[in-house]
Amino acid sequence: MLTKPSKAASGAFERGVAAWDKLGVFLSNTKSRRAKLTASKLQELAELGLDWAA
């Protein structure tokens, strides 16, 4: 399971937005649109450990 480190630990900021926050937005958007994803994309996400993609 992925865990979000503190912003100080991530150290990756672009224009004031942490890279971890961008990842969170990507995951949220992908999960909400999962009905539109292809089977291969869902399989790839499941292999990365995303339970909702299985």
Reduce the secondary structure of 1-54 to three states and give it as a string. CCCCCCHHHHCCEECCEEHHHHHHHHHHHHHHCHHHCCHHHHHHHHHCCCHHHC
Evaluate if residue 7 carries a pLDDT over 60: no
pLDDT digits (tens, 9 = 90+) for 12-47: 555 556 777 788 888 999 999 999 999 999 999 999
pLDDT of residue 24: 86
pLDDT band at residue 3 under the 50/70/90 scheme: low
Lowest pLDDT segment from 2-6, 9-13, 20-24: 9-13
